Amino acid sequence: MLDAALRHAEKSRERYVSELAKLVAVPSCSFPGFPPEELVRSAKGVADLFRRSGLEHVQLLKVAKSHPYVYADWLRAPGKPTVLLYAHHDVQPVGNEKKWKSPPYRATRRGGRLFGRGAADDKAGILVHAASIEAYLKTAGSLPLNVKLLIEGDEEVGSDNQPLFLKRYAGLLKADVLVIADSGNHKTGVPSMTTSLRGLVAVDVTVRSIRQSLHSGIWGGPVPDPVIALSKMIASLSGPKGGIAIKGIYDDVRPLNKVEKESYASLRYTEALYRSQAGMLPGVDIIGGKASPPEKMWRLPSVSVNAIAASSRKDCANIINDGVWCRIGVRTVPDMDEGKALRLLIGHLKKNAPWGVKVEIRKVASGHWWGTDPLGKVFQAAGRALSKGYGRRAVYIGTGGSIPFVGPFSKALGGAPALLIGVEDPYSNAHSENESLDLADLQKAIRSSVHLYDELARL
C-alpha cells in the first residue's frame, strides 16, 4: 500500500498544483465587508476536491454566524487509529494589490514557488490532506487507518465560532490524534514540527491631561503633554538591553527541555540569518539579552506597541494634543498565566504614568499559549514520517505567533495529541503581499503525510 501510494503521489504532482490553483482562485476572505458567498463557493470547491479524492460523508456544516466548515471522512479501518486532519479555507485580505507581482487570486509560478493569496496559508494544507489520502484510495482502495477532515472557514478572523462548533459536533469529530496543517518549516526543505505557540494579551491605552487640544505656543510649558507622558510609559516597558522591564513577567516562564535545546541548537540559526530574514536595518542592535534568536522568538515573552495615534501627519498642527491612544501587546509563553500577565502590564503602565495624567486601559485581546512534550510515540512516528518525506531529519521548533484554538481543540478531543505541521517557510509572506510556497516542499509534505498514515497505523 505504502509504495503504491508514494508512486501515485509522485506521478500526480502537476495535477496537485493545478488543484491547489483552483482553490487559490476563489477569494475566500473571511473578514467583515468581504463577500460571504465566496466562502460558500470556496467550501464547495474543497468539498468537490474531497469527493474526487475518494472521501465519504462530505458535507458543509455551520454554527451561529460562522462561515461554512467542510467535513469528510473515511472510516473503513476497524481496530485502527482515527486521525482528525485540520486546515482552513479562508484567507487574509490581499493588502496593497499594487505590491503583488502577479494577481493575488491567480496562482502563478516563479522560481520554483507558487504565488497567490492562500497558496501557503492554508489552502496548501487542504491539498496535502486530500492528495495523501487520494494516493492510497486510488491505488490500494483503502487507507491504513481511519481519517476525518475538518476544514474551517473562520480561522483568519479568530475562530470565534469554533468552541460552539466543537461542542455541537464533539461526537462527529472524536479522534485519537489531531493533525493541524497550519504551521510551517524552519527553513525551506527542513521538515519541522511545531511544539510550542506563544499566547497574547493586548490592551488599549488612552492618556489625557486636558479637556481639549491647546495652542502649543500660548499654553506650552506648564501643561503636561499626554503624548510625552505615554512615551515615558512605553519607554519604561523595556530595560537597557531590550528585555521586558515589567517586574515579575519572567517568573513563570517554562525552561527549555532537553529535546528543545538540542533541536534549537541543530538549526544553527545565527543572528546574521535572523537579521537578513527580519529585514533589520544596518547598525540596529538585536535586543533581549544573550538567548538565541529561536528562544527569544518562540519561548520568551515579548512586548510590542502595535499602533499609536494622537493627531496625524495630514492634520498636524502646533498644538498640545488633548489625548493619545496606543495598543500594546505582550506575547506569553508556557507556563505564563494570561490573567497575571495582564495585571502586571496594567499595573506597570499605571505606576509609570507621570505628572498625574489620566490613564484608561482596556483589554482588547487574550489568547492562550500552547506547548507539548514531543517525546511520546505519536510525535516519534510523526518525526519518522517527516524525515522520510523530506529526506532529512525532522526538527522540533516553536512559533512566535498564536493559534488560540489548538489547546481547546485538543481538549475537546479528550486530550488527543496535536501534531502541528505545514508547508510555509520564512519566504512565504503569509498575510502579506506576494504570498507563496515552495513547490518542492509541497510535494515533500504530501509524501510525509503518506508516510504519516502508515506510521500511525502501526502504533
Query: Rounded to whole angstroms, how far apart are CA atoms 245 and 348?
Result: 9
Q: Where in the chain is the domain with CATH 3.40.630.10?
A: 2-196+369-457
**Confidence at residue 214, expressed as pLDDT on a 0 to 100 scale:** 97
2-11 and 439-457 helices cross at what angle (nearest 10)? 160
- Is the pLDDT at 265 greater than 90? The verdict is yes
**Confidence at residue 408, expressed as pLDDT on a 0 to 100 scale:** 86
Segment 16-42, tens digit of pLDDT: 999 999 999 999 999 999 999 999 999
Task: Give the whole-number percent of the chain exceeding pLDDT 90.
Answer: 92
Position 294: which residue type?
A: P
Segment 295-314, tens digit of pLDDT: 999 999 999 999 999 999 99
What is the pLDDT confidence band of residue 362, given thresholds at 50, 70 and 90?
A: very high
**Confidence at residue 373, expressed as pLDDT on a 0 to 100 scale:** 84
**Confidence at residue 164, expressed as pLDDT on a 0 to 100 scale:** 95
What is the pLDDT confidence band of residue 401, given thresholds at 50, 70 and 90?
A: confident
What would the CATH number be for the domain defined by 2-196+369-457? Answer: 3.40.630.10
**Confidence at residue 374, expressed as pLDDT on a 0 to 100 scale:** 85
- The partner residues of 148 in beta bridges, in order of sequence, read 73, 84
Q: What is the mean pLDDT of residues 309-321?
A: 94
What class is the 199-253+301-366 domain?
Answer: alpha beta
Segment 186-239, tens digit of pLDDT: 999 999 999 999 999 999 999 999 999 999 999 999 999 999 999 999 999 999
**Confidence at residue 158, expressed as pLDDT on a 0 to 100 scale:** 86
Q: Where in the chain is the domain with CATH 3.30.70.360?
A: 199-253+301-366
Q: What is the mean pLDDT of residues 65-86?
A: 97
- Is the pLDDT at 404 greater than 90? The verdict is no
- CA angle, 99 as apex, 93 and 104 as ends, to 5°? 50
What is the pLDDT confidence band of residue 61, given thresholds at 50, 70 and 90?
A: very high
Q: Which grid cell is 109?
A: 509560478
Q: Which grid cell is 276?
A: 537578513
Q: What is the mean pLDDT of residues 238-263?
A: 94
- Is the pLDDT at 348 greater than 90? The verdict is yes
pTM: 0.88
Task: Give me the chain's average pLDDT, please.
Answer: 96
